[in-house]
Chains A and B, each alone.
Chain A
Amino acid sequence: MMLPGGKPIRLCVLSLASHLPVVRAAVQKTCELAGLGAEAAGGVVLGVDEALTNIIRHAYKCAEDRPIEIELAVLDDPGARALRIRLRDYGCPVDPAEIRSRDLGDVRPGGLGVHIMKKCMDSVEYRQAEGGGTVLTMIKNLPGADERGNQ
């Protein structure tokens, strides 16, 4: 299933925590259009929300006027259907080698975002963007035509 118009959906929001519900609603709807079931869609929404939270907190250090670009696309290659989410920020660069989940046995507030993103997505990849900032690409595999009813 393709997104309406067969083209990616692109959004640009400011680094405002109060805008997160709007992005979550857009991602939720995109997941539905892409054919994801409720549970998987909930995971994608959570994963994107955690990624945006990290951008606001760490890349932009809670500044509320910085841009975040969001692209939602369905990759409809035969045998490799997937929802691709790209988040682009222009904040402090992130060293991909330093981004990892923390020990969950250590019960303390914070530091769970990356772990959640990796659990909810099939692939999470950071790279430094040309011109500064970071591009985060997350992939969620979509069910094949014969599996859709079970997702």
Chain B
Amino acid sequence: MSNQDSPVKEIRWVGRAVVARVAGDIDLNRSPQFQHSLLALLDERPRRIIVNLSEVPYMDSSGVASLVKLLSRVRKSGCSLRLVGLSDRTRSLFEITRLDHVFEIYATEEEALA
């Protein structure tokens, strides 16, 4: 797979929560970098990880798989994971795969940080 720039464009700390802003399509081409960047967030031992997907117009199952892997690691490490700003398309993908009941999904960063 190609080694493009990470789709994770910004990492911001709010207390002990870390907010990752993601941009662009997440597909087979970009999901390896996406997953690598997300899993690296755990190295800083946050209490909560918030993944902002509001700038992600398209995601496929490889992107979802990256988030499932992160969720698995998050649960083992005792922190929490919240997703924010899913587009209609991305939300539909989560519904199709029934993962909308597995992930904590919020409309805004403010709600996810509360």
Contact = CB atoms under 8 A, between A and B. Distances in A.
B96 A49 contact: no
Interface stretch (B11-19, B45-53, B65-73): B65-73
A112 B94 CA distance: 11
Interface residues on B, range: 20 to 34
Nearest to B70: A109
Contacts of B66: 109
Interface in B61-114: 61-62, 64-66, 68-69, 71-72, 88-89, 92-93, 96-99, 102
Contact of A56 (B25, B28, B61): B28
Contacts of B1: 17, 62
A5 to B, nearest CB: 28
A116 B27 contact: no
A50 B27 CA distance: 9
Contacts of B72: 108-109
Interface stretch (A6-14, A18-26, A137-145): A18-26
A116 B1 CA distance: 23
B25 A112 contact: no
Contact of B93 (A24, A46, A56, A105): A46
A128 interface: no
Interface string A87-108: 0000000000000000011011
Interface residues of A, number: 28
Nearest to B24: A21
Contacts of B29: 17-18, 20-21
A136 interface: no
A120 interface: yes
B27 A120 contact: no
Contacts of A24: 27, 58
Contacts of A50: 60-61
Residue of A46, A119, A120 with highest tally of chain B CB at under 10 A:
A46
A17 B87 CA distance: 23
Given A18-B2, A20-B29, A46-B60, 16 more contacts: A17-B29, A39-B88, A42-B89, A42-B92, A53-B60, A53-B61, A62-B1, A104-B97, A107-B99, A107-B102, A109-B66, A110-B61, A110-B65, A112-B61, A113-B61, A116-B61
Interface of A: 17-18, 20-21, 24, 39, 42-43, 45-46, 49-50, 53, 56-57, 62, 104-105, 107-110, 112-113, 115-116, 119-120
